[in-house]
Amino acid sequence: MGEPAIQITDLKKQYQGTIALSSVSFDIKPGEMFGLIGPDGAGKTSLIRILTSLLDPDDGQCRLLGISVNNEPEQVRKVIGYMPQRFSLYPDLTVGENLRFFADLFRVPRQERLKRTEALLQFSRLTPFVKRRAGQLSGGMKQKLALSCALIHTPKVLILDEPTTGVDPVSRREFWGILKTLKEGGVTLLVATPYMDEAEKCDRIALINKGNILAVGTAAEIIERFTGVVYALFGLNLPAIAGWFKKRLHPNQVQILGDRVHVSLFADTTETMDSLCREAENSGHSIRSVEAAEPGLEDTFISLIVEKN
């Protein structure tokens, strides 16, 4: 086991009275793929900026591979790869030139560069566009090129801030395949993401809200914290049924998922699904059947955050 790859102890940060992080602590193990989830403004980016030595904490410590970020920021920058939420490419360089530029910057050996470039172009589907200037790519293509530039070298620790915003589902799946390969090669990964299906791919997850860590654990462990009940409703007009429940309960508690509507009742409610369904039927909705469903990470995310508010 040994020392954690990333060690965060009592980290605090305020901006003009707004608390961005109020005493955050957790560890990430070497070779772990660690997910960071939380609502917008929860403190994810502040935490990442502190870890990457771009922002000074008010108080607390963090160490990456045993190196203190507070005392040796230059050393830290040498071992990490980092992709900020908004990453700037060179719009006048082509796709190929951008990749080459970052490979040279990180002193990637030629053989390695060629191999890596091929894999990255495969995931990003940018092969037909290597000669196109980056400024002329679509939003998602730019994001994928930025990701590719960040992944052209192999850092020991890779920190990604919402890497797949704007990336389509096909590329998203392949991108996570690349992350998995890196993990298997021993890279430690910290990924902030608003996608729950991505968080579920991580070994462990921290849920952060208003600068506090609400839960840390595997997806299954976090889901166990959900204390309510989730119901799956089947029926004729799902959008109408979902609409009714959103009005009657709260938009947070209702989601259409494929051929069913999920409605979650939090632990503190006095409502029962039986009577709610009767009410819905009386308002003209036709619900064919109701069954208890497994709560997911998103249900838990929402209930933990709503509970704290």
Ligand X SMILES: Nc1ncnc2c1ncn2[C@@H]1O[C@H](COP(=O)(O)OP(=O)(O)OP(=O)(O)O)[C@@H](O)[C@H]1O
Binding site for other proteins (CB under 8 A): 15, 38-42, 45, 85-86, 125, 129, 136-141, 143-144, 162, 165-173, 194-196, 238-239, 243, 246, 251-252, 254-259, 298, 301-302, 305
Residue with smaller CB distance to other proteins, 53 or 300: 300
Residue with smaller CB distance to other proteins, 41 or 66: 41
Part in contact with Mg ion (CB under 5 A); list of ranges 55-63, 68-76, 131-139, 157-165: 131-139
Sequence letter at residue 32: E
CA-based nearest residue to 44, from 33, 52, 36: 36
Q: What is the DSSP letter of 285?
A: -
Q: How far is the CB of 125 from ligand X (least distance, A)?
A: 10
> How many CA within 13 A on the CB side of residue 200?
12
Residue 39 binds which one of Mg ion, other proteins, ligand X, none, with CB within 5 to 8 A depending on kind?
A: other proteins
E-strand stretches of 203-297: 204-209, 212-217, 229-235, 254-257, 260-265, 287-293
Residue with smaller CB distance to ligand X, 31 or 194: 194
Residue with smaller CB distance to Mg ion, 143 or 303: 143
Residue with smaller CB distance to Mg ion, 139 or 177: 139
Residue 125 binds which one of ligand X, Mg ion, other proteins, none, with CB within 5 to 8 A depending on kind?
A: other proteins
Residue 234 β-bridge partners = 289
Helix 110-124 vs helix 139-150: angle between axes, to the nearest 10 degrees?
A: 150
> Residue from 66, 135, 139, 177 that binds Mg ion (CB under 5 A)?
139
Residue 15 binds which one of Mg ion, other proteins, ligand X, none, with CB within 5 to 8 A depending on kind?
A: other proteins
Residues of this chain that bind ligand X (CB under 6 A): 132, 136-141, 168
Q: Which residue is closest to ligand X by CB?
A: 140
Q: What is the DSSP letter of 146?
A: H
Q: How far is the CB of 169 from ligand X (least distance, A)?
A: 11
Q: How far is the CB of 162 from other proteins (least distance, A)?
A: 6
Residue with smaller CB distance to Mg ion, 108 or 167: 167
245-272: b (≥16 Cβ within 10 Å) or e: bbeebeeebbbeeeebbbbbbbeeeeee
Integer Cα distance of 45 and 40 in angstroms: 9
Task: Provide φ and ψ at 197, rounded to 5°.
Answer: -70, -30
Say how many C-beta atoms besides its own lie within 10 A of residue 160's C-beta: 23
Residue with smaller CB distance to other proteins, 26 or 195: 195
Q: Supply 298's token pair.
A: 């998103």
- Name the residue with tokens 């602590």: 25
Binding site for Mg ion (CB under 5 A): 138-139
